[in-house]
Amino acid sequence: MSVNNLLLWEKWRPKTIDDMVILPRIRKNFEKDLDKNYIFYGGFGTGKTTLSTILIGKYTKDKPYLELNSSLYTSIDVLRNEIEDFCKTIPMMESDCPYKYVFLDEFERVSAQFQDAFKAFIEKYSKNNVRFIITTNNLSKISEGIKSRISQINFDCQSFEEEKFVKIGIYNRIKKIILPSENKDVDKDTLIKIINKKFPDLRAILIDLQDYLETGSLNDGFSNLQNGVNLKLYNMIYDEKIDYVGIYNFLMTEFGADKIDIMMSLLSKQFIGWSISNNKNIDKLFECNYIISEYYPKLEKSIDPIVLGMSVIGEFRKILLR
């Protein structure tokens, strides 16, 4: 059973800021003109790109602006040609907005040379009323020189209250707007499960919602959860009989170097839920969370992800088995 033969996420992509579930601390920055340079950063599906296109569209209707996906245009030549050519053109005349905008999505993928040269662009063309909006899923991959020149807004929830605000907003948008418009309904408990599983990624939540509407069953997410790898991982951490070699063989067999990111994910929200359900060292979860927060950013720069994975397991055991 198809939902009008369209992807829910595409069909219900927010077209105005009022369509978005957006934190008040973020929204208050855009009550007036879009008159500053910004870096929007945070996890996947948190609204960075959507808000950028909405804001720029508000001020550039029927007027030129430049939008580039930085994962496709990584070379410094793009900066020297397309972007510089756009910035040099005569400012728009008789416009309600005095600014021209350049939107660079997924900026963490551009080259180091691009980033180094871009620092000068920010200062040079800001004087010409050009404003830059940059989005990234990984702020640590943007140079300090750029970050020191641009205002930064974190789209990730910073507290339990913020998480609650966003979850309620997503629930209400789906329950009160999307589902009635699609002549569909989902019971409260099921909808909460769908939201919690992929939160805060609204795009992934709507994809799972559509799967549920079409199949009548919930998708369990990671395929490795279906064969119990998560439980094997958690029990292995607590099993003092398993030595270094046993842990190494387990990681190589179940994950390999290319899937250590999945292992890290299983030790995040999934591990918290499992620990609470089984009343396992709940008072030590803060320390475990810190380990994941500390090690996860190192994964992309790690020469050997397996060694990083072994280190994380070792730190977890040091905390949980003491």
pLDDT digits (tens, 9 = 90+) for 4-61: 456 888 899 999 999 999 999 999 998 877 888 999 998 888 999 999 999 988 877 7
Burial class (CB in 10 A: 0-12, 13-18, 19+), 114: buried
* pLDDT of amino acid 225: 46
Highest mean pLDDT among 119-123, 219-223, 283-287: 283-287
Q: What is the pLDDT of residue 5?
A: 52
| pLDDT of the residue at 14 | 92
CATH 3.40.50.300 correct for 24-154 = yes
Beta carbons of 35 and 99 less than 8 angstroms apart: yes
- Name which residue leads in pLDDT, 109 or 179: 179
Half-sphere exposure (CA, 13 Å, Cβ side) for 279? 0
* Percentage above 90 pLDDT, the chain: 33
- HSE-CB at 251 with a 13 A cutoff on CA atoms is 27
| pLDDT tens digits along 103-135 | 999 888 888 888 888 888 888 887 778 889 999
Q: Where are the domains of the chain?
A: 24-154, 160-222, 224-320
